[in-house]
Structure formats: structure tokens, C-alpha cells
């Protein structure tokens, strides 16, 4: 077990510590409450043995502060002769048990073992709950902020209808998650949810993906193929990056939305499909309408019900909650210390929730213990306002590819991953930008130029095998 002992009685403390470590346990010793809290900031413990009467901070205060930062750690209190009242108070504060000092070592050891087993049981229960959660496929949308609560209410309202839904928001704010949530709460939940990303394919390919094609419709069409509208029949089609849809395809999409009719590429006959459309974009479609890049009639048709996802920096209350959510997904017993939590809370999150998830995952790989500290966070989060770091890294290389990668990442981050603005700033079109993002495997917030973190090809393998 991983055990923390806090007791100012030197001989007693070192005596037990020695015997328990000899049995293969990891034991840390503190001779006062502050030292114990310092350990708790750095490492995670399964069991703690705390003396009730210590200088500087008494055992009860230490207990309550420990339970705040490490709620899963089981605590055994050491009490003196006449302190039964304090022992009761300790139990109320969540201690596992208490034992009177002096006591035979065997008795103490048994009690600590029971506390440890209790800890393990809690962990198994949690794993069991996770398995159950997985079999009932429910989308978990985390957040306490009024902004996210409003989104949850909207999802509840729009889900049962068959109306199209338009989901808006910056990159990484959870648009796809919300789309899945809407599908799962609809009557179509048992039918397929099919996803297509309009920015990933060029126009003609996208058309045959969406609508299918007949044999001989174009060179290479050696057999007829149903489109995603047909695949999604009875279910939901999620059209991601709708703002990238070419004008000619916008007309075809409008037709399906209006009366469910569509025609495969090269087909003479129309067919009916029963598909609910959910679309998402991080563009301002109204601007695109004004600039005649997006059909006004389609915009009105699809914008009946829209869900606007606020960027993470505008709902900072959700940051600790989301961080803990992602930590729980990694495993039990993971936590963040105060300083790390504060740094996450102050960061601007250009890549929103996705960036947060990536930061947590990377930190968990770098951490030696199950406690994440500032040291495991990317440089731009642990050392805010070192904006010149990226420029320094760019200057440091003559390799054109590498410069391209760093430069595109920097501009993306600066523009909060708004792809239209980034493409404009770079003087290229959005599709070229999309290709650059794919080519370099760019992700929101991965521009930390801190070399110790950036070459993690070896680490990536371990992520996949988790
Ligand atoms: N409220 C939330 N609770 C839990 N997880 C979330 C939440 N919001 C986003 N996520 C997670 O963050 C990641 C990014 O979300 P998602 O892919 O839905 O974003 P997006 O808006 O579609 O991004 P993009 O515009 O880049 O496609 C996913 O792993 C998702 O599960
Ligand atoms: Mg998405």
C-alpha cells in the first residue's frame, strides 16, 4: 500500500515506517501537518495514519484538509488516552477508524490493512460502475456552468422532434458530443447515427459519399453505391463543418431537408429517405450568407433549432469538473494539485474542451505518481505569457517543413482555432489549411515548444496500449 504517516513522535513513527516498508509498502513520514500536506500535494496515498495531537496543526484539521484534496484516501487516526471525543469527531469527518496509542504493532498493521482493503473495494465498485455505464451508451456532457446547463435543457427539448438541428461553436467545444447526445435522446436512438465531415473531402467525392452513385456515373464508378443518406435511413445524419459544403451540394441538401427526396449521382430516379439532419459548424453562417457563400434558404431551413456552445474560457466553472472527468477516465485515484488546478483555470483554452482532454492525458503520462502538478503541464499553461516561445522555436530551425508546422500551429492557436480566420491570415483557402492540419497532425494547444514534451513518439505508444 501507499501509506502516509503523520506523527511528531519520532521513535514511534520511524519504528512503524521501517517495519511497514520492509513488507514492501511505500511509506512517507511527516512530523507535522504541513509536511503531511506537502506530501499530499506531490503524491497520492491509499491510506494515511494521522496522530491526533501534533504541533502546528492538529490531527482533526489535517484530516479535514486531507479529505478535501484526497477524498479516496482512507484515514486511520492515532489517539491518546482520554480523547474519545476527538476520535468520534474524526469519524464524523470521514476517518476510517481510530486506534489508541500505544498499541501492539500487529493490531495496528491489521487495522491499516483493513483500511487499505476498504480503499480497494471502493475502487472495484467504481470500475464496475464504469463497465455498467459503458453498456448503456449514454453521452456524458459535463458542466455546472449556467451556459452548459442551458445547452443540456435545449438538447432535451430538441431531441424528440424530427427537426434539423444546427450546432455552433468554436473548435473543440463539444459539437460532435452534443450531436450524439441529441441522437441518443431521440426516438431514432436505436437507428444509425452517420457522420460526414464536409471539410475532409473535395466536392465531387463528397457528393457521391452523401448521395451515392450509379454504376458508370463517372470514371471509376464500377459499381453502384448507396450514399450516406441511404445508410442513415431511419436514423440521423450528422453533417460536420456544414459551412464547407459547396453551393451545388447545398441545393441538393436543401431538397432532402424539404421533402426527403434525393437522387444518386448518375441516377434518373429520385428516392425518398427518412433522415434527421444534425449539422455543425464553427463558421458564422450568417456572414457566409451575406457573402453569398452559403444559400440563404438552406440557412433558414437548418437554423430553426440551433444550439450555441460557448467557448471554455467563458465558462471557467466547468474547468475543474472537466479536468476531473478526464482524470477519472484515465483511472482511479488521479488528482491535480492546487497549483496545477489554478493554472488550468487561468489559461485561455484556444482548443477548448478537446485541448483540456489532451493536456490531462499527456500530464498523466508524464506524471510519476497519480497526482498531477505544474511540472506535467505544457509550458504555455504553467508559464503563461511566454508568447515569444513559438517565435524562438521557429527561428531555431531552418527546416522548411518544421517551420511550416510551427507557424501554422501558432497562427491557429492565435486565432483560437477558428479555421476561416486562420486561413485568411495565412493567405490560403480553408481546404489547404485543412490539409496542412492533417499533414502535420496539428491539434489545439500542442504548440508548446518545450522540447522535453514535444518529442513524445515513444509516449504515444503507451497511450494507445492503455
Ligand atoms: N461538456 C463536455 N463534457 C465532457 N466531454 C466533453 C464536453 N465537451 C467536449 N468534450 C470532449 O471534448 C472533445 C472534443 O469535443 P468534440 O469533438 O465534440 O468538439 P467539436 O466542437 O466537434 O470540435 P471540432 O470543431 O474541432 O470538430 C471530445 O473528446 C468530447 O468528448
Ligand atoms: Mg467536431
Q: What is the 171 CA–ligand 1 centroid distance (Å)?
A: 8
Residue 311: is its pLDDT beyond 60? yes
Please report whether residue 36 resides in a domain: yes
Tell me, yes or no, whether 21 lies in a domain.
yes
- Whether 364 and 327 have beta carbons less than 8 Å apart is answered as yes
Residue 197 alpha carbon to ligand 2 centre in Å: 8
Which is the closest atom of ligand 1 to the Cα of 318? 1
Domain that holds residue 256: 146-310
Range from 78-87, 236-245, 294-303, 436-445 carrying the lowest mean pLDDT: 78-87
User: Do 24 and 128 belong to one domain?
Assistant: yes
pLDDT the model gives residue 415: 80
Q: Which numbered atom of ligand 1 lies nearest the CA of 178?
A: 18
Same domain for 24 and 59? Answer: yes
Claim to verify: residue 184 and residue 277 sit in the same structural domain = yes
Q: Which band of pLDDT confidence, cut at 50, 70 and 90, is reported for residue 455?
A: very low
- Residue pLDDT, tens place only, 262-294: 999 999 999 999 999 999 999 999 999 999 999
* Sign of the alpha-carbon torsion through 353, 355, 359, 362: positive
> Is the CB–ligand 1 distance for residue 177 below 6 Å?
yes
Residues 6+ away with beta carbon under 8 Å from 169: 175, 280, 282, 308, 309, 310, 311, 352
Residue 342 has pLDDT above 60, yes or no: yes
User: What percentage of the chain has pLDDT greater than the value 90?
Assistant: 60
pLDDT at position 260 over 90: yes
CA-closest residue to ligand 1 atom 23: 172
Taking the CA of residue 173 as reference, the ligand 1 atom at the shortest distance is 21
Please, where are the H alpha helices in 101-174?
A: 105-135, 146-158
Site to substitute for ligand 1 among 243, 244, 282, 353, most atoms within 8 A of C-beta:
353
Would you say residue 139 lies in a domain?
no
Residues 98 and 229 in one domain: no
- The whole-number pLDDT of residue 136 equals 36
Of 134, 161, 180, the one marking the end of a domain is 134
pLDDT for 261 beyond 80: yes
Out of 271, 294, 310, pick the residue that ends a domain.
Answer: 310
- Residue 86 CB: number of other CB atoms within 10 A? 18
What mean pLDDT, rounded, does the chain reach? 86
Residue linked to cell 511527516: 30
DSSP codes of every residue in 66-82: HHHH-TT-EEEEEE-TT
Grid coordinates in use for 204? 465531387
Residue with more model confidence, 415 or 177? 177
Q: Are 372 and 277 in a shared domain?
A: no
C-alpha–C-alpha distance, residues 232 and 247, integer Å: 23
- Name which residue leads in pLDDT, 448 or 401: 401
Specify the CATH number for the domain of residue 103.
3.40.50.2300
Higher pLDDT, 310 or 125: 310
* Rounded distance from Cα 359 to ligand 1 centre (Å): 14
Residue appearing with cell numbers 501492539: 104
Distances from the Cα of 15 to the Cα of 9, 28, 62, 78, 421, angstroms: 10, 13, 22, 15, 65
Question: What is the whole-number distance in angstroms between the Cα of residue 393 and the centre of ligand 2?
Answer: 29
C-alpha of residue 307 to centroid of ligand 2, in Å: 14
Per-residue pLDDT at 303: 93
* pLDDT given for residue 400 in this prediction: 87
Of residues 73 and 81, which shows the higher confidence score?
A: 73
Using CA atoms, how far apart are residues 336 and 8, in angstroms rounded to an integer?
27
**Ligand 2 centroid to residue 362 C-alpha, Å:** 21
Which atom of ligand 1 is nearest to 167's Cα? 21
Q: What percent of the chain has pLDDT over 70?
A: 89
Ligand with an atom nearest the CA of residue 167: 1
139 Cβ closer than 6 Å to some ligand 1 atom: no
Find the angle CA(143)-CA(145)-CA(149) to the nearest 5 degrees. 70
pLDDT for position 133: 41
Cα torsion 369, 372, 373, 378 to 10°: value is: 120
Ligand 2 midpoint to CA 80 (Å): 59
pLDDT of residue 102: 81
Beta strands in 217-324 (DSSP E): 225-226, 236-240, 261-262, 271-272, 276-281, 305-309
What is the residue with the minimal CA distance to atom 9 of ligand 1? 174
Q: Please, what is the Cα angle at 128 between 125 and 133, to 5 degrees?
A: 125
The pLDDT of residue 457 is: 35
Query: Based on the domain organization, do 102 and 210 belong to the same domain?
Result: no
State pLDDT tens for residues 368-416: 889 999 999 998 898 876 455 666 677 777 888 888 998 898 888 878 8
Q: Give dist(CA 221, CA 447) in Å, integer.
A: 42
Angle at 168 between CA 240 and CA 425, to 5 degrees: 85
**Residue 381 counted as domain residue:** yes
Model pLDDT, residue 104? 85
* 8 A C-beta contact, residue 444 and residue 171: yes
Give me the pLDDT at residue 447, please: 54
Assess if residue 141 is contained within a domain.
no
Are 181 and 93 part of one and the same domain? no
Q: Which of 310, 326, 345 is the last residue of a domain?
A: 310
For residues 195 and 80, the model is more confident at 195
Distance CA 41, CA 318 (A): 22
Determine if the pTM surpasses 0.75. Answer: no
CA of 156 to the centre of ligand 2 (A): 20
Residues 42 and 57 in one domain: yes
| 277 and 349 housed in the same domain | no
Which run of H or E residues covers position 454? helix 451-454
Q: Note the pLDDT of residue 135.
A: 42
Helix, strand, coil share (%) of the chain residues, nearest 5: 50, 15, 35
Question: Does residue 466 carry a pLDDT above 50?
Answer: no
Please report the pLDDT score of residue 127 as a whole number: 59
pLDDT at residue 424 above 80?
yes
Clarify whether residues 290 and 398 are in a common domain.
no
Q: Torsions phi, psi of 215, nearest 5?
A: -55, 130
pLDDT of residue 163: 94
Does residue 311 have its Cβ closer than 6 Å to ligand 1?
no
What is the per-residue pLDDT for 465? 30
pLDDT tens sequence across 136-155: 357 889 999 999 999 999 99
Instruction: Answer yes or no: is the C-beta of 169 below 6 A from any ligand 1 atom.
Output: yes
Residue 139, pLDDT score: 82
- The closest-lying atom of ligand 1 relative to the alpha carbon of residue 282 is 25
Q: Is the same domain home to 306 and 345?
A: no
Whether residue 294 sits in one domain with residue 178: yes
Q: Is the pLDDT of residue 132 over 60?
A: no
Measured distance CA(119)–CA(116) in Å, rounded: 5
The pLDDT, as a whole number, for residue 129 is 54
Question: How many domains in the chain?
Answer: 3
Amino acid at each position: 500500500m501507499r501509506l502516509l504517516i503523520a506523527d511528531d513522535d519520532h521513535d514511534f513513527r520511524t519504528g512503524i515506517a521501517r517495519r511497514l516498508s520492509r513488507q514492501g509498502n511505500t511509506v512517507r513520514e511527516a512530523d507535522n501537518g504541513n509536511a503531511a500536506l506537502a506530501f499530499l500535494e506531490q503524491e497520492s496515498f491509499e491510506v494515511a495514519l494521522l496522530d491526533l495531537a501534533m504541533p502546528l496543526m492538529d490531527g482533526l484539521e489535517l484530516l479535514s484538509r486531507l479529505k478535501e484534496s484526497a477524498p479516496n484516501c482512507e484515514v486511520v487516526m492515532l489517539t491518546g488516552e482520554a480523547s474519545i471525543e476527538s476520535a468520534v469527531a474524526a469519524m464524523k469527518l470521514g476517518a476510517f477508524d481510530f486506534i489508541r496509542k500505544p498499541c501492539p504493532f500487529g493490531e495496528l498493521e491489521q487495522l491499516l490493512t483493513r483500511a487499505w482493503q476498504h480503499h480497494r473495494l471502493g475502487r472495484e465498485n467504481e470500475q464496475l460502475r464504469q463497465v455498467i455505464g459503458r453498456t448503456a451508451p449514454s453521452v456524458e456532457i459535463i458542466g455546472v456552468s449556467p451556459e452548459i446547463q442551458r445547452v443540456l435543457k435545449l438538447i432535451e427539448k430538441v431531441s424528440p422532434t424530427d427537426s434539423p438541428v444546427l450546432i455552433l461553436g468554436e473548435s473543440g467545444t463539444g459539437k460532435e458530443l452534443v450531436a450524439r447526445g441529441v441522437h441518443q435522446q431521440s426516438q431514432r436512438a436505436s437507428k444509425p447515427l452517420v457522420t460526414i465531415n464536409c471539410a475532409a473531402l473535395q466536392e465531387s467525392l463528397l457528393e457521391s459519399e452523401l448521395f451515392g452513385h450509379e454504376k458508370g456515373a463517372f470514371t471509376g464508378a464500377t459499381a453502384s453505391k448507396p450514399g450516406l443518406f441511404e445508410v442513415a435511413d431511419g436514423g440521423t445524419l450528422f453533417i460536420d463543418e456544414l459551412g464547407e459544403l459547396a453551393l451545388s451540394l447545398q441545393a441538393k441538401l436543401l431538397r432532402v431537408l424539404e421533402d426527403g427526396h434525393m437522387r444518386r449521382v448518375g441516377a434518373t430516379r429520385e428516392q425518398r429517405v427518412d433522415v434527421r439532419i444534425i449539422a455543425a459548424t464553427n463558421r458564422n453562417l450568417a456572414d457566409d450568407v451575406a457573402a453569398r457563400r452559403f444559400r440563404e434558404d438552406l440557412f433558414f431551413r437548418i437554423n430553426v433549432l440551433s444550439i450555441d456552445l460557448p467557448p471554455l474560457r467563458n465558462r471557467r466553472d466547468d474547468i475543474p469538473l472537466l479536468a476531473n472527468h478526464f482524470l477519472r477516465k484515465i483511472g482511479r485515484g488521479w488528482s491535480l494539485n492546487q497549483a496545477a488546478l489554478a493554472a488550468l483555470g487561468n489559461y485561455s483554452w484556444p482548443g477548448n474542451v478537446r485541448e483540456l482532454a489532451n493536456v490531462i492525458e499527456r500530464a498523466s503520462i508524464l506524471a510519476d505518481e497519480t497526482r498531477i502538478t505544474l511540472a506535467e503541464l505544457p509550458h504555455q499553461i504553467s508559464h503563461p505569457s511566454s508568447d515569444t516561445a513559438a517565435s524562438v522555436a521557429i527561428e531555431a530551425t531552418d527546416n522548411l517543413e518544421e517551420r511550416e508546422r510551427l507557424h501554422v500551429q501558432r497562427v491557429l492557436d492565435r486565432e483560437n482555432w477558428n479555421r476561416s480566420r486562420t486561413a485568411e491570415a495565412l493567405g490560403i483557402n480553408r481546404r489547404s489549411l485543412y490539409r496542412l492540419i492533417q499533414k502535420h497532425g496539428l491539434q489545439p494547444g500542442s504548440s508548446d515548444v518545450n522540447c522535453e514534451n514535444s518529442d513524445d513518439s515513444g509516449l504515444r505508444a503507451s497511450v494507445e496500449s492503455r
